[in-house]
Structure 1
Amino acid sequence: MKLLLNIKKENDDLGKQVNNLANTLTLKPHFKYTLALLFLIISISIKAQNYNEGSKYTLGEISVSGNTSFNEQTIISYSGLTKGKEITIPGEEIANAIKKLWNSKLFSDIEVFVTRTEGDVAYLEINLSDLPQLNLLKINGVKKGKQENIIKDTKLNKGVKVTENLITTTKNFLEKKYKKDGFLNTKVHINTIEVKDSIPTARVNMVVNVDKGEKVKIKDIAFSGNTILSDKKLRKAMKGTKKINRLRVYKRSKFIDSAYQADLGHIVDKYKENGYRDARIITDSVIVNDDKTISLKIAVNEGELYTFGDITFIGNTVYTNEYLSRILRINKGDTYNGVELQKRIADETKPDGFDITNQYQNNGYLFSTINPVEVSADNNVIDIEVRISEGKPAYFNNVSVVGNDKTNDHVVYREIRTRPGQLYSKANVVRTVRELGQLGFFDAQEITPNFNNPNPNEGTIDMEYSVKETGSSQIELQGGYGGGGFIGTLGLSFNNFSIKDIFKKEAYKPIPMGDGQKLALRLQASRFFQTYSFSFSEPWLGGKRPVQFSTSLSHTKQFLYDYTTGNADKSRSFNITGLTFGLAKRLTVPDDYFTLSQAVSFQRYDLNNYNTGLFTFGDGYSNNLSYTIGLSRNNTSVDPIYPTGGSKFSVTAKLTLPYSLFNGVDYAELKDEYDDLDLTDADDYARAGEIDQERFKWLEFYKVNFQGEWYTQLTKDLVLRPLVEFGFLGAYNQDRGAIPFERYFLGGDGLANYSLDGREVIQLRGYPNQSLTPLDEATGQASSDGGTIYNKFSLELRYPVTLKASAKIYALGFLEGGVSYNSFRDYNPFNIKRSAGLGVRIFMPAFGLLGIDFGHGFDPLPGQTVKNGWETHFIIGQQF
């Protein structure tokens, strides 16, 4: 910025006077010029002194010059300089005008000239140049997919004014950004090129060259000043900063500054956990090595060991000192642990943790504050006062839900455990978030409880749950080759159905939705079988209690394989028709995570000239009327697709009536007769079929299943899921024996294309489907009839790639093993078939769960001697 005082006219007059004097004195030309310069310097000094003292002028005309596209009058008006205004030259008025124009961030250069003065009138000229606008931007050295984020972060949009400050801040931002990600040698160069065309607006093209270089690895992490905790323990405390170790896979050794800064805090926390409350980092430095790695040098001051002294509570009236002490679980004389003390006061990592803050908040004291204060540290013994301000109990005033455009309000509100007028409970808020996520109608990652209008004086708060709906209906359309032919499947699953609107034309968008009901239709067919199924469930029967009603109807027709033609023999079939009704009620004891379920089902098995190894008769029927009762507990949270905590347990018993007690049939006599038959003889084989028809006319059995799984969040994203399963199929009457239906088939992906006989297919990856069945004593090979006992153990480690509503993707690694037997006499739960492998799961609302697993079986199949090796499993629609 310049203030130039034009004295051209005065200089011209002075020049004439000097020239006349020089001619009079007949001076030589060079003396003439020296004399003129001397007089000029003196004159300018005098004039400048006069201007520095400041003179009052009235503004005359103001002109605008320079390279600008703005209107002249606009610039003059914005500057605040107006004709007729009295100003001081030099003075604040012109300085403020220049400052105002500069702050508009529209110009690159601003000058104000006094072109001439006439008495007390001054004429000004404002000379300025517009800042160039950004025309084209090119970014080199960054992947195309990430360039949009850079443009957004740096605001390098077309038309933005390009200033030196913009260039500098952009360069600093990018270098800092990549250095935080471990690229310590990042260099950014920015060039601008003027656009020369007929457009008057100044424009430039910008080229941003980013050279990230390689991520810098950490060669060594060295500590000094530590005697209490070893270097190894301190390195272990650093969660995100690790030195090079080629055997470590999960944590890399690349340096990331943000993780390093956090880990310095973790080192101090480690000392505090061990009683050294005064520990601190004295210095830390990053040393660049010749091999382009770095070494970290960290100096610590450990301080002295402290223990807890007296812990007193002040301000508590709701809970006694003894009760709060039981929650705190810290005694006098314990090694001081500041980190654990804070967790017992308020555990920020667990919303439902067992701590004093949650104890107050779960009982209405939302506005309570609890602060531990060290009141004495004499002789390294720290006395603590836990100062409690309980405040008023808080009550919910208004409770609302936003974001449920498709799901009807009553479906959402019946899951909410916070009601207007109810005493505030943090546990109920956390539980509500879980229940809404478990519905499957909303993106579990996006459910947010908002606390609005808290009023400590009146003890009220408004509660708003923000949800984001996701697709809850699924379509299954697939084809594949299996079982000797092409298999086609069409399935429709509507998980937020509304059956009451089924006859309302306007409700079809594209189907009636919003009442939380589930309706599923499925058709599967090949040359050899056809399966049709329909199911419906209402989770709140009657709308007042969480009692789920469900029903299903299915029909399967299997055709016998003709070995001569390789086709299905449609004249020989095995038909199964089934109908099930069930009720499931949420319990309140032992707690309300328990559900008691009951179901009655009937299956009719019809054989029409269908002779296989399953029965000794080819024409006949069997009836299966059974009652199932189950007790389950599910407190997983929050996302049903990717739970990060909690557990699921279920135990079920399926049983039939003990027909052998009252039907008058002597099964011991039939068994003896059957054992005496020669099944290679046609007549004896026919008689065996008659005996089997009598034995299996009404199926008689009992069946017990158990399954338990846990979810533990090892880190923010990494989740461990152990699983245990057990099943047993028994008979009331040992002479009648175990039925050939309802058996367990272990191995493979756990998916059954069709279930002719009520079988349960158990997943055990790394082996072919349904291959791990007990040995047939007669042949020494794996039986095709399945087992009556099985157990399975599984350990799965999961890591999410993305948990967005559009697609949830996670990778997994697994170790598992299992075995099946036909009797407890042979049963050994630990003589298992083992496997390990990797997989990935993709859940898309429209298609359900998809995935692939690569499993390696470490043991041979039953009847073989060589380990099974690698198997690939495709997962479609399996339970999570």
Structure 2
Amino acid sequence: MKIVFLALAFFIGLSVYADKIKEINYDGLFHISKDVAMRMVDLDIGDELDEQKVDDAIKKYFKQGYFQDIYVTSEDGNVTFHFQEKPIISKIELKGYKDDDKDFMNDVVMIKRGALYDEKKIEAAKNRIIESLNHDGKIDSVVEVEKELQENGSMHIKFVINEGEKIIIEKIKYSGLKRFEGSDFDDMVANKEHQFMGWFWGRNSGDLRIQDLQYDPLRIRDYYMQYGYLDAKVDAPFVRVNFDHYTGEMSYQIVEGDVYRISGVTIEQTKQVIDDAKLLEVVKLTKNEPFNIKTFREDADRIKTIVADLGYAYANVVPDLRKDKENHTVEVAFKVIPGEKVRIRNVIISGNTRTLDRIIRRELYLGPGDMYSLTDLKDSRNSLGRLGYFESNTIEEKRIDERTMDLIVKVKETPTGNIQVGGGYGSYGGILLSVSVSDRNIFGSGINVGVKLEKSQMTHNYSFSISNPRLNDSDFSGNFSVYQSATDYTDYSTESNGVSVGVGHRFTRHVSGYLGYNYSQNRYSNVDLNSTSVYGSYYFESYAKSSVVTSLSFDNTDDYYLPREGLTASQTFEKSGLGGDANFFKSGTTFNKYNGLKDYVGFDAIFRYKARFNYVMDTGYLPIAEKYYMGGIGSVRGYQSYSLAPTITDTNGQVRRIGANQTFSNSAELSLPLVPKAKMRLVAFADWGFIGDNSLSEISRGGYGMGLEWFSPVGPIQLMFANPLNEKPGDDVSHFEFTMGQRF
């Protein structure tokens, strides 16, 4: 607090010559009104000017935080409070570290443009920046604050940051190891020894992570407890730092103890709500086996889920370990405290600026008046994620009392209407461009409408489609589409015009069925005479296809575009010959499995496995265009789309592709966060496929590479860079492809 000496002298004079107040004025007051200021001072017109009351008023004004100087003058009973307000911060910058990083500015600096300049807040921000650098392992960092008063009276603040040096861990020593080796803990701890080429992906950089020093011993002890070492002790690491070279050594002192085996597992319910035997059925801990803390926690979660599914939303499972140190056994007891049954009072939807409330509500398995169920709650979150309408969704449980709660559904919309562009290049098909205009949630109604245009040197495809996944908000779905396509092959061209219509039904939360009808007219043109002599004119007759399609699918994933858990599987059958000329039977099987690896590796990594098997049987007339081809995204990357198939050689020695009766391909992918703020991910993949007429072993090819997955403002984009495996002479390879709008 600053009060000028002139004011002090004035106060001394007041005590001798006390004037009556004729008028109270305020000079330089902007952030609070005159009326508010007057209420804060215990002075009024007609009162004698009191030094203590003026002093108290000045103190109150300073507490508001708006002023850097206040003084009072009085002349002939006219009292004036003079205020010098703190300047407003018009600009704030970071230089040298996290330049213009908005998240860092909000989360660490915590000073925004337009705020009042405050020395204490500036100093606190400076300390938080240094603390953040320390957490990143940067030692001896320096932060300087440059302040510049602008002509308009505002303040320009610049934090000039000189990053310190990182401490590199050269050696980690473990004392007391008998059962394990130090390398066994590498997957657990954050602080690891530096490895050669530590900057390379998958190698240990050795950077000291100061914030994790307190947690690494707990992680090591947890690892021991997964193998039954309940008495294991891990002391905090001792770190020796060489500040001349910014290197360090760490040492742990470990006492392993003995392995404890399970003597028994019991359930103790404070209120009997379910048969103990039902709960014991989900327990994976086994008598006489070594205790495992990970399985122990999972068992507790499984028990809680079963009880919570009975309506006991506030159920609590308190596990207890009763150790027998003499015999090195442990009895595991799960104490179940159910609480009261809870009903849902209300479901409140928020954040949906476009999607209608009813579109969200029909995906929820809990509604007003329903009994609480933890499984229903999780399935509701996943169901919303599978829609693909939202960037994120959460369902908060708002406790009203012991027996009721509200569910607050919060969603964040993502663009569903976009222009999707895809393309690629290969020696067989040349440049391929694909453009489609679609909206998976037109007008927020949940209806999917799309127009697709695809053109390359060899093909063109045009289509219009409309589908409703929930007709009248029921479990039935419907779709309609029309299309025209044409493909120029080496020795002939094909053209197809068709229409399809179908209806689906959701049998359970994860299982759906579909029944549809397809009709198309197909004709050949530009047929090479050599082709007819090799294939026979039989293959090049125009034909009509009339077929029925039926399918059954399973999907319990948690997101439409980027699943982190669950699987999808489908089985499709198509039978043609119900009218028309073509007569064949097709079968298509797909299987995709998704596993989030965050619990294992500490960051948002995702493993995917995808497999596809297709088979066709000639039951009267199988046109060559209905046979299978392999290559490209969706089968084997590294080869041009549709370029892998059985071939024959014509009379001129030209190799011709004739398609196959069966094909199988599978892929393994590892998706890693690259630039999380930009929603950009890096994916590494390996594909392998088989194709043939009589046997899948006739043709076998693979591919590998890396790609970029990006949730761009106009939709999800995949950029794939691939190399072929098992390449043979005559193969059409493709090293780059990209798509937009597809599920990762």
Common fold by TM > 0.5: yes
Q: Give the alignment partner of residue 690 of structure 2, picking from 819, 822, 833.
A: 819
Higher strand share: 2
What residue number does 1:711 align with?
Answer: 594
Q: CA deviation at 1:579?
A: 1.9
Q: CA deviation at 1:249?
A: 2.0
Letter in 1 for 2:645: T
Deviates more, 1:739-748 or 1:369-378: 369-378
Pick closer, same or farther for the CA change 1:492–1:429 going to 2, 3 Å.
Answer: same
Within 5 Å, which residues of 2 pair with 1:4-15? none
What residue number does 1:168 align with?
Answer: 123
Q: Is residue 307–residue 336 contact of structure 1 (8 Å, CA) maintained in 2?
A: yes
SS in 2 for 1:366: coil
Within 5 Å, which residues of 2 pair with 1:308-457? 308-312=262-266, 313-346=268-301, 355-374=302-321, 377=324, 379=326, 380-443=328-391, 445=392, 447-456=393-402
Q: CA deviation at 1:778?
A: 6.2
Letter in 2 for 1:178: L
Pick closer, same or farther for the CA change 1:548–1:252 going to 2, 3 Å.
Answer: farther
Q: CA deviation at 1:359?
A: 0.7
What residue number does 1:467 align with?
Answer: 411
What residue number does 1:833 align with?
Answer: 701
Q: CA deviation at 1:393?
A: 1.9
Q: Is residue 3–residue 69 contact of structure 2 (8 Å, CA) maintained in 1?
A: no
For the residues of structure 1 that align with 2:551 and 2:401, how far apart are their CA atoms? 46
Any stretches of 5+ residues in structure 2 without a counterpart? 10-14, 22-26, 73-78
TM-superposition CA deviations, 1:742-770 (whole Å, max 9, x none): 111111235xxxxxxxxxxxx31112332
SS in 1 for 2:299: helix
Q: Give the alignment partner of residue 617 of structure 2, picking from 730, 745, 748.
A: 730
For the residues of structure 2 that align with 1:171 and 1:252, how far apart are their CA atoms? 28
Q: CA deviation at 1:460?
A: 2.2
Q: Is residue 606–residue 621 contact of structure 1 (8 Å, CA) maintained in 2?
A: yes
What residue number does 2:446 align with?
Answer: 516
Pick closer, same or farther for the CA change 1:227–1:110 going to 2, 3 Å.
Answer: farther
Pair 1:784-2:701 in alignment: no
Pick closer, same or farther for the CA change 1:879–1:485 going to 2, 3 Å.
Answer: same
Q: CA deviation at 1:358?
A: 0.5
Deviates more, 1:274-283 or 1:532-541: 274-283
Q: CA deviation at 1:480?
A: 8.9
Q: Is residue 190–residue 206 contact of structure 1 (8 Å, CA) maintained in 2?
A: yes
Q: Give the alignment partner of residue 630 of structure 2, picking from 729, 739, 746.
A: 746
Pick closer, same or farther for the CA change 1:577–1:98 going to 2, 3 Å.
Answer: closer
What residue number does 2:178 align with?
Answer: 227
Percent identical pairs in the alignment equals: 23
Q: CA deviation at 1:276?
A: 3.0
TM-score normalised by L of structure 1: 0.70
SS in 1 for 2:521: strand
For the residues of structure 2 that align with 1:611 and 1:518, how far apart are their CA atoms? 41
Pair 1:270-2:223 in alignment: yes
For the residues of structure 2 that align with 1:342 and 1:159, how far apart are their CA atoms? 49
Q: CA deviation at 1:211?
A: 0.6
Q: CA deviation at 1:185?
A: 3.1
For the residues of structure 2 that align with 1:225 and 1:360, how far apart are their CA atoms? 43
What residue number does 1:663 align with?
Answer: none
Pick closer, same or farther for the CA change 1:721–1:493 going to 2, 3 Å.
Answer: same
Pick closer, same or farther for the CA change 1:220–1:127 going to 2, 3 Å.
Answer: farther
Q: When the two structures are aligned, how many residues end up with a matched partner?
A: 709
Letter in 2 for 1:584: G
Pick closer, same or farther for the CA change 1:718–1:484 going to 2, 3 Å.
Answer: closer
Pick closer, same or farther for the CA change 1:288–1:61 going to 2, 3 Å.
Answer: farther
Q: Give the alignment partner of residue 548 of structure 1, picking from 464, 477, 482.
A: 477
TM-superposition CA deviations, 1:855-877 (whole Å, max 9, x none): 1113223657xxx8872223345
SS in 2 for 1:455: coil
Within 5 Å, which residues of 2 pair with 1:440-839? 440-443=388-391, 445=392, 447-456=393-402, 459-476=403-420, 490-497=435-442, 513-524=443-454, 531-541=461-471, 543=472, 545-556=474-485, 574-588=494-508, 592-607=509-524, 610-611=527-528, 613=531, 616-617=536-537, 620-637=541-558, 639-657=559-577, 698-715=581-598, 716-732=603-619, 739-750=623-634, 763-776=635-648, 783-801=656-674, 808-824=679-695, 827-828=696-697, 832-839=700-707
For the residues of structure 2 that align with 1:337 and 1:527, how far apart are their CA atoms? 61
Pick closer, same or farther for the CA change 1:578–1:167 going to 2, 3 Å.
Answer: closer
Q: CA deviation at 1:434?
A: 1.5
Q: Is residue 59–residue 87 contact of structure 1 (8 Å, CA) maintained in 2?
A: no
Pick closer, same or farther for the CA change 1:698–1:539 going to 2, 3 Å.
Answer: same
Greater RCO (Cα-Cα under 8 Å, separation 6 or more): 2
Q: CA deviation at 1:81?
A: 8.8
TM-superposition CA deviations, 1:159-191 (whole Å, max 9, x none): 756555334323311111111122223222335
Pairwise CA RMSD of aligned residues?
4.4
For the residues of structure 2 that align with 1:703 and 1:5, how far apart are their CA atoms? 97
Letter in 2 for 1:643: P
TM-superposition CA deviations, 1:505-554 (whole Å, max 9, x none): xxxxxxxx23322222234567876543222222233x263222222222
Pick closer, same or farther for the CA change 1:707–1:521 going to 2, 3 Å.
Answer: same
Deviates more, 1:232-241 or 1:648-657: 232-241
Q: CA deviation at 1:466?
A: 1.8
Letter in 2 for 1:220: K
Q: Is residue 636–residue 648 contact of structure 1 (8 Å, CA) maintained in 2?
A: yes
Any stretches of 5+ residues in structure 1 without a counterpart? 10-56, 113-123, 347-354, 498-512, 563-571, 660-696, 751-762
TM-superposition CA deviations, 1:168-226 (whole Å, max 9, x none): 3233111111111222232223355678x8x8x7x876553211134333222222344
Q: CA deviation at 1:842?
A: 2.7
Q: Is residue 28–residue 83 contact of structure 2 (8 Å, CA) maintained in 1?
A: no
From the CA coordinates, give the structure whose radius of gyration is larger: 1
TM-superposition CA deviations, 1:247-284 (whole Å, max 9, x none): 76235432222344333321121122233334344332
SS in 2 for 1:583: strand
Q: Is residue 368–residue 390 contact of structure 1 (8 Å, CA) maintained in 2?
A: yes
SS in 2 for 1:431: helix
Q: Is residue 523–residue 530 contact of structure 1 (8 Å, CA) maintained in 2?
A: yes
